[in-house]
Amino acid sequence: MMFAAPRAVILSCLALTQIAVASTLPELLLESRQSTSTSASAEAETLRGTSAYNLVCALIARRVSSASLVHYPGESPTADGSPVFDWLLSHWSSASNQVSACVVEPGTPADVGKILEIIGKTRTPFAVQSGGHGTNPGFSSTKGIHISLNSFRSVNYNRATRTVEFGTGLKWEEVYAAIERYGVSVLGGRVTGVGVGGVTLGGGYAWKTNQYGLTCDSVTAFELVKPNGEVVKVTQQSDSQLFFGLKGASNNFGIVTKITMKALPQGQVWGGMINYMDPASIEAVSVATSKFANQVKDPKAAILSTFSYYQGSPLVGVQLFYDAPQPPAGVFDDFLSIPAVQTNVSTQSFLSLVQSAPANATYGLRSYFDGVPVASYSPQFLNKVKDLTITFGNQLASKSLVFMTLVAEPFLPTILSHNPARTAYPFTRSKVYSPFNILFTWADPSQDAVFEQAIRDMKEQLYAALLAEGQSDIVNAPLYPNYALWDTPVQKVYGSNLPALKLVKSRVDPSNVMGLAGGFKIISR
């Protein structure tokens, strides 16, 4: 089935006036690059600035087919009043937003190839956006050319092969809704508003990870537009090394326009959110979370324990999940017996459970993610998490803090056994380190530096608490790229896989076109 994509009206008048000169742009820009040193002249710098980006936009508009659109600042809104340019640029965290020269909305993989060819020849900074849920500034935003994958919205279930093929312009709840009728699901995001591309290419954790592994482990094929413009289907059989690289190394090898994943049987599930505010209840949740993480071995069960600070008070929420209409007795009893202020736990559809979490409540505010790897959860560590939540919340309340949460995400030690093949993330499969998420959300842009420092301080204290418990191996453990702060060293993300990834990079992208976009960049030489 196909989802309708929002469309713009026509190209702006500015773009039309630029087309006449755009045909010579690649040669002009390349000549400038060749005739200037690293400390380029003022003329060359100007050429690469906003005016040059506008010319690249015009050239792209001229070269792509009618299936693709180019949007500009100030563009007329759609019939429903939506400003397409602003909407396609927007991120869940407004701290990630940048105003680009144009937003290119390609409608075919072939047009993505043309766009990449132009970008590569002109060495123009660009960004690729799938769902826009990442919080790192510049990772899916740019002042240059913003490529929105919004038009890649097809979803097709193949009953014979038990696979689902879907476009990378979708969010996970849209995929779940499209395939629910077939009694299947895929290993994707656990909350709404999260794009399929970033999760999958970063590794990915799902509600059913304990049963089937990481999101990338269930991928059987990628439709990839290489930096040279070639459109290929990448599988384990067609190119095992590139397939390995696409499973966790994000946007280093081109632009993925479709993903094919194994379809998993899906009936009704049990779960939902329970919120606690009483100090004694919060203490009890720490104990229950540790007990669950260390003692519950049922792969159908999963939790997210969130230690939050909201409107001046600590708040703990636990999302429960069981992949059946009812859990066995004892699996979640500790959580259910703690006095709560609110709960929506019930038997429901998988889609309904995903939609029940208020993940989009902070859409458009400013947020940063970071994370730490955790080998095991003790009550002492979780009590430290609770204390840090209160301490940092009190310190930041006057700095426009809206919401802060620290999320324990325990998984079984067997999750990496479901896929025997190597993946770019994690760089070691000999031991499982669960990702622990740090999220700060605030309102005032002038406080960005304050919150950047705060999230770094929080991470340092969490590491110190884990090291004090003897978890010394976390220092060299893989960092989940979808949580890691923007200046995390690439070695911490890709580790021992880095040499192999550099070889793939040198073969697939020898001119480092993808280095013109943000992200954790692999440099082949």
What DSSP element (H or E) covers 389?
Answer: helix 379-396
Examine the domain organization and report whether 448 and 503 are in the same domain: no
Domain boundary among 106, 127, 148: 148
Opening angle at CA 493, ends 490 and 495, nearest 5: 85
What DSSP element (H or E) covers 376?
Answer: none
Q: Is the pLDDT of residue 375 over 50?
A: yes
**255 DSSP β-pair partners:** 225
Band the pLDDT of 79: cuts 50, 70, 90.
Answer: low
Distance (Å, rounded) from C-alpha 293 to C-alpha 242? 35
Is residue 193, in this structure, part of any structural domain at all? yes
Examine the domain organization and report whether 421 and 299 are in the same domain: yes
Rounded to an integer, the average pLDDT of 85-101 is: 95
pLDDT confidence of residue 81 = 63
Q: Tell me, what CATH number does 72's domain have? A: 3.30.43.10
Is residue 89, in this structure, part of any structural domain at all? yes
Is residue 36, in this structure, part of any structural domain at all? no
What DSSP element (H or E) covers 233?
Answer: strand 231-234
Opening angle at CA 190, ends 188 and 195, nearest 5: 55
Band the pLDDT of 475: cuts 50, 70, 90.
Answer: very high
pLDDT confidence of residue 3 = 37
Examine the domain organization and report whether 296 and 409 are in the same domain: yes
Examine the domain organization and report whether 51 and 117 are in the same domain: yes
* 467 close to 374: Cβ distance less than 8 angstroms: no
Q: Tell me, what CATH number does 482's domain have? A: 3.40.462.20
Q: Is the pLDDT of residue 10 over 90?
A: no
Examine the domain organization and report whether 292 and 350 are in the same domain: yes
Examine the domain organization and report whether 253 and 365 are in the same domain: no
Is residue 523, in this structure, part of any structural domain at all? no
Distance (Å, rounded) from C-alpha 386 to C-alpha 29? 54
Q: Tell me, what CATH number does 232's domain have? A: 3.30.465.10
Most confident of the ranges 41-45, 51-55, 123-127: 123-127
Which pLDDT tens digit goes with each residue over 36-48?
Answer: 333 333 433 444 5
pLDDT confidence of residue 524 = 84
Which pLDDT tens digit goes with each residue over 266-315?
Answer: 999 999 999 999 999 999 999 999 999 999 999 999 999 999 999 899 99
Band the pLDDT of 27: cuts 50, 70, 90.
Answer: very low
Rg (CA), the chain: 23
Domain containing 472 equals: 268-490
Q: Is the pLDDT of residue 16 over 80?
A: no
Burial class (CB in 10 A: 0-12, 13-18, 19+), 378: buried
% of the chain with per-residue pLDDT over 90? 86
Examine the domain organization and report whether 426 and 506 are in the same domain: no
Which pLDDT tens digit goes with each residue over 159-190?
Answer: 999 999 999 999 999 999 999 999 999 999 99
% of the chain with per-residue pLDDT over 70? 89
CA atoms within 13 A on the CB side of 203: 24
Examine the domain organization and report whether 341 and 250 are in the same domain: no
Q: Is the pLDDT of residue 400 over 60?
A: yes
Look up residue 119 and give its amino acid: I
* Mean pLDDT rounded to a whole number for the chain: 91
Could you give the residue ranges of the DSSP H alpha helices within 410-484?
Answer: 448-468
Q: Which DSSP symbol is given to 375? A: S
Domain boundary among 111, 128, 148: 148
**222 DSSP β-pair partners:** 234, 259
Count of domains in the chain?
3
Structure tokens at 311: 């409107």
Structure tokens at 251: 């946007």
Band the pLDDT of 75: cuts 50, 70, 90.
Answer: confident
Examine the domain organization and report whether 217 and 82 are in the same domain: no
- Bond from prior residue into 325 cis (ω within 30 degrees of 0): no
Look up residue 195 and give its amino acid: G
Distance (Å, rounded) from C-alpha 86 to C-alpha 363? 14
Is residue 10, in this structure, part of any structural domain at all? no
What DSSP element (H or E) covers 74?
Answer: none
Examine the domain organization and report whether 314 and 386 are in the same domain: yes
Band the pLDDT of 89: cuts 50, 70, 90.
Answer: very high
Could you give the residue ranges of the DSSP H alpha helices within 97-253?
Answer: 109-122, 172-179, 196-201, 209-212, 240-246
Is residue 27, in this structure, part of any structural domain at all? no
Is residue 416, in this structure, part of any structural domain at all? yes
pTM of full prediction above 0.85: yes
* 155 close to 221: Cβ distance less than 8 angstroms: no
Band the pLDDT of 11: cuts 50, 70, 90.
Answer: very low
Domain boundary among 148, 173, 197: 148
Examine the domain organization and report whether 339 and 363 are in the same domain: yes
Band the pLDDT of 76: cuts 50, 70, 90.
Answer: confident
Is residue 307, in this structure, part of any structural domain at all? yes
Band the pLDDT of 443: cuts 50, 70, 90.
Answer: very high
Q: Is the pLDDT of residue 158 over 90?
A: yes
DSSP track, 491-523: HHHHGGGHHHHHHHHHHH-TT-SGGGS-SS---
Examine the domain organization and report whether 75 and 195 are in the same domain: no
